Amino acid sequence: MTTNPSYIHFAAPPFPYFLECGRTVYLPGEQHPNRSRMGKFDLIIVEQGCLHIGEEQTEWAVSAGHTLLLLPDRYHYSVQPCEEETVFIWVHFHTVGEWTVSAGEPVYADREEHFRQFLTYPYTVRIPQFGPLPAPFARSGQAAQLLQLNQGRRSSAVWQQQRIFEEMLRTMDLARQDTAGSQTAEIAEQTEAYLRNHYAEEVTNTSLADALHFHYNYLARCMKRVYGLTPMEYLTDYRLEQAKLLLLKTEIPVGEIAERTGFESTAYFSRRFSRKVGISPLRFRKRYSR
């Protein structure tokens, strides 16, 4: 048996979406069925007993108070029958966004490809494949709420179940951040907030370090770990997004847009914009402002 340290990384939005859920009870001697490439994620939350289950070459003993996330493109099988009455909730879900499996450091989606497909940059939701149920999750009763909604009208349940399911993912993702180093996430978010609030101003490595009272290299490590970008890479991307909004929603000249969004010159702004978007600012305005 192993406590696999793997995490499942989901690029969002779009966020994974809820499909169905249920509660299963196995008596001593019964076991989980073998399945191959079921095509959907299967989140198992064990409430009582112990479920012995494997996926490809990895095997787990999932005891009460633990979760296991089975992947949609793998072979799942029973390792051994249950030795005691075992009760678990299962939640099936799917995603149309990119996902991957990794141990240790975060894995980030291709930002440019994600933007071309979904018109927004990705956030990485990171869920442990196997581990103890986070305390906030256990206290919330969210899994039980999903089950209860199965008994109601579909027109009402579909909205509530998706909301509760996303809150479950949020709880598990934030619990991971706490165990991986809450200070890292906190510093990264402080840096992000500062950059968003001061993007129109001149921001340098030194001024950013002075404003946040941390060495720039430390800020860069935190940003890279949480967002996959250095502070200056994030700042440039954010400035370009603000420039896009001004190009689409106003008639402000390109030179003034460059100044308003913190670029040092119109020529530099145009070069960065063309490199990022594939066309010049003027052509972008003409194409999408008809």
pLDDT of residue 177: 60
The more confident residue out of 178 and 211 is: 211
Model confidence at 86: pLDDT above 70: yes
pLDDT (tens digit, 9 = 90+) per residue, 152-204? 788 878 999 999 999 999 888 877 665 545 677 788 889 999 999 999 999 99
User: 197-235 in b/e burial notation, b at 16+ Cβ within 10 A?
Assistant: eebeeebeeeebbeebebebeebbbbbbbbbbbbbbebb
Average pLDDT over residues 127-141: 82
Query: Distance between terminal CA atoms of the chain?
Result: 61
Average pLDDT over residues 67-84: 95
Whole-model pTM over 0.75 = no
pLDDT (tens digit, 9 = 90+) per residue, 37-54? 999 999 999 999 999 999
